[in-house]
Structure formats: C-alpha cells, structure tokens
Amino acid sequence: MIPVTKPFLPSREKLDQYLDGIYERQWLTNNGQLVQELTRRLEEYLEVDNLLLVANGTLALQIAYRALGVSDSRSDQHPEAITTPFSFIATASSLKWDGIQPVFVDIDPKSWCLDPDRIGKAITDRTRAIVPVHVFGNACEVEAIDTIAQRYDLKVIYDASHAFGVKYKGESLLKHGDAATLSFHATKLFHTGEGGAIVFKRKEDLERAKKMINFGITGPETIEELGINAKMNEMQAAMGLCVLDEIADNMSARQHVWEFYKDNLTSKCQFQQWNSNATQNYAYVPMVLGSEDKTLSVVKGLGDINVGARRYFYPSLDEVDFISTASGGVPNSRMISKKIICLPIYSSIKDKDLSKIISTINGFDEVKG
C-alpha cells in the first residue's frame, strides 16, 4: 500500500541519545531541558521570537484565543470569529469548543485561502477575531487581512499548521498576525509525534500563554491565571530535535516528489495558485479535478492499485451541522472541497511509485475538463 503520507522517522541512534539523557535526568515534562532547547532552535530556524511549544496544534489555537482575549464574552453576547470553511475541522471546532462562533467567509477559487474582499461584510458587533488559514502552506493575503483587522480592532490568529518554514517577502510568514499556530502532528513536514507551537507578536501575550499551558500556576503556591495542561513533554521534544536535524534532507526529497507530480500532471488538473511572495515547503500535493464524479473515479482507481489519495479538505466545514452558521454562502469552498484530492508525498516514496500514480491518473479521460 502506498499511503497518502508517512511520518518522517529520523536517526534512531540520535533519538536514543536524547532518550538516554531523559532517563538520566528523570525530568519528563514541565519545561524540561529538551523543550527549552527545541524552543531556542525553532526560534533560530524559523527566524521568529516569542515561540511557545504546546502539546498539539489544536491546543495551540485554543491557547492563542485565550491569551489574546478572543474567548472573553462582552455582556451577554457570545463572541464570533471570521474563518474559512476550507480547512481541517480543528480550525472551526477549536473555536466552537471555546465558546466562539465560527462565521464562515468564502475562499479565493485559485489560492484556496480566505478571500479578504469578503471579510468586511461578515463583521458584526460580536466579531472578535479573524482566523485565516495558510492553506497547504500557501500564504494568505496578509497585508489586506491586517488592514481589515486594524480598521475594526480585531485580533488575527493564523492557523499556520501547514506553513512550517514558509517565508513571505523574505521573512517568516509566522511573523504575521497577533499569533500564528503550528501543528507538529506526525504527518507534518516537521513533527514531534504530536505537538504544536504558537508564535506571538507580543512578548506579553507569550508570557500570559506560558501561565495558561501549566494550569495558571506560576509558583509552588501561586495560581495567577485560568489554565489547562497544554505542555509539550520531553519525549516529544526529543523527536522534534532529531527531525529538525534532518529537515533539509526531508524537504529536498519532498521537493523532488512535488516537482515530479507538477511536471507530469499539470495538464490533467488544477493546482493551487501559489502566492508569488511566498516560498514553498512541499508539504502537500493537492489538486482539483473537473468534477466530483471524476474525483471519485480517480480516488477509486488509485485505491484499486493500493494507492491512498485523500479528499482533503472535504467536506466544506459549513456543511458540518454542529459547526455551521449562516454566512451568506461559500460556493467556492463547496466547489473546491468536492473536487480536491491530495496525492501521496513523503521523503521515501520511490520514483516508480510516482510513475504508477501519474500513469493511473493520466489514464482517465478528460480528468480536468
């Protein structure tokens, strides 16, 4: 079976060395030595400040909402946040879970990111934030979104789960917004098995979030903040340090896979229009076909030869009953979600397997049409 992705597993010898150190120190969690080291190294690699490691990417979003005051209700009104329906469920469910109503605004049909031109009409007196997604690592129109946020005094929290290492106009994309969150799930380009991070614009927001991820505890007998347990542990950090050591080789191998597909499938499908100011990190290979029927046929055809292809993201989140709210319609998101598939990409996939996948897709008549 050729899966849609495989976790990148770094040198076992190096991982064992980190694990030996954990056993010697017997310090497993609560801001241990490896968590501190990974924090420093990620800030250096990503060229950011105010990075906070957490247990997973969903908690990263929830802590960001809390630290930035988005979750706070005013009088009897429940807060709202404008976001995209074309994303993984956690983007919207994390808002809903925290008592914030997601208000869906449609995406640009080419970039697949939140369309800034549609945001203004969705803003109400309950709107507290904009939560855009750098979809598949593609940079949103950050300047336009920032202008809107300043005009209406809104917070911006970017779901940057897919955007590890992406640069925008020569600087880290993660510097945009009041916060940007990352997922370090096992399937990501960079991972810690499970894990995540938040990059805050302001130091004071980082310091508040540090308290929140440890139950609000600031000393042996001091609790200053409403908190939860969202800390990364030493085992996760050990994996992350090893993966970071090999990130260049991993990304280079994925670039080869991404370009192999792009060179041989462009005429058969629509690829995402990449932001011309942003770099590519080769995290995913999404493509849109001509219709939902053709998409289902290709998924089945690939499945018949033991190739996993995921309809990702499907469904459009406005169609999830317990999340949805009236938003004036999101036809682009619904259209793209019905016709999209993500193809297998991971560093160890073989060229012969890529050729088999491409040959199968090219065997379908008028896939794009």
pTM above 0.85, yes or no: yes
Give 270's contacts (C-beta < 8 A, 6+ positions apart): 287, 288, 289, 368
Type of residue at 30: N
- The domains located in the chain, with CATH, are 12-245 (3.40.640.10), 247-362 (3.90.1150.10)
Which DSSP category does 315 fall into?
Answer: S
Instruction: Provide the token pair at 110.
Output: 């080419």
Alpha-carbon distance of 95 to 77, in angstroms, equals: 15
Report yes or no: 55 and 232 within 8 Å, Cβ to Cβ.
yes
The DSSP annotation for 316-347 comes to: -GGG-TTT----S--HHHHHHHHHEEE----T
Alpha-carbon distance of 354 to 58, in angstroms, equals: 32
Instruction: Provide the token pair at 132.
Output: 């855009």
pLDDT number for residue 369: 47
Give 111's contacts (C-beta < 8 A, 6+ positions apart): 135, 138, 140, 272, 273, 274, 275
Helices (H), 26-56: 33-46
- Taking the chain (369 residues) in runs of 10, the rounded mean pLDDT of each run is 96 97 96 98 98 98 97 75 97 96 96 97 96 98 98 98 98 98 97 98 98 94 93 98 98 98 86 97 96 95 96 95 76 97 97 96 69
Alpha-carbon distance of 280 to 316, in angstroms, equals: 24
Which residues are annotated as catalytic? 188
Report yes or no: 364 and 294 within 8 Å, Cβ to Cβ.
yes
pLDDT number for residue 190: 98
pLDDT number for residue 77: 76
Give 220's contacts (C-beta < 8 A, 6+ positions apart): none
Which DSSP category does 192 fall into?
Answer: -
Alpha-carbon distance of 35 to 215, in angstroms, equals: 18
pLDDT number for residue 327: 54
Instruction: Provide the token pair at 60.
Output: 């990263």
Alpha-carbon distance of 224 to 219, in angstroms, equals: 9
Long-range CB contacts for residues 206-213, cutoff 8 Å, separation at least 24: 206/50, 206/52, 206/67, 208/67, 209/52, 209/63, 209/64, 209/66, 209/67, 210/52, 212/63, 212/66, 212/67, 213/52, 213/54, 213/59, 213/63
Q: Which of 147, 134, 130, 129 is nearest to 86 (CA)?
A: 134
